[in-house]
Amino acid sequence: MLFKFEKLEVWQLALDYIDLIYQIADQLPKSEEYNLKAQIIRAATSIALNIAEGSTGQTDAEQARLLGLAIRSLIETIACQRIISRRKCLKDEDLLSKANAHAQILAAKLHTMRKTIAPDKSWLREERATYITDE
């Protein structure tokens, strides 16, 4: 018997993305073992875990919140990839391109799923702040 989340296309895509991230992590230099490697693996894993957690026995609002956390974790992996590229930590830049393309699809699917579950929510919560200085 499959759990509900295992039937979700977005969860399957997250698993494929984790596989790509592990391929990237495995090629990182030893000096990044406890920094970029650990961080990108944790963030990628978090995507799938939040999708799974949100899919079962949750209210729509709670599931949408957990999908938001999955999106944030995805963005974290993308930021890690940019740092990896900038620091020239990988010889195979094609792997980063492949992961980036996969991330674009996964992000679109996660956003669509979240909007479908909670269509009345405004997902952009950041407002323009007025900064006051002593000058």
Share of the chain above pLDDT 70, in %: 90
The whole-number pLDDT of residue 126 equals: 46
Mean pLDDT of 35-60: 95
Lowest mean pLDDT among 43-47, 54-58, 110-114: 54-58
Q: What is the pLDDT of residues 98-108, one digit of tens each?
A: 999 999 999 99
* Total number of domains constituting the chain: 1
At 92, the pLDDT band (50, 70, 90 cuts) reads confident
Domain that holds residue 111: 4-117
Read off φ and ψ for residue 129, nearest 5 degrees. Answer: -100, 145
Query: How far apart are the C-alpha atoms of 72 and 65, rounded to whole Å?
Result: 11
Q: Is the model's pLDDT at 53 over the cut of 90?
A: yes
CATH number at residue 47: 1.20.1440.60
By the 10 Å C-beta count (0-12 exposed, 13-18 middle, 19+ buried), 65 is classed as: middle
- Averaged pLDDT score across all residues of the chain: 91
- Residue at 91 is within a domain: yes
- Residue at 50 is within a domain: yes
The structure's pTM equals 0.88
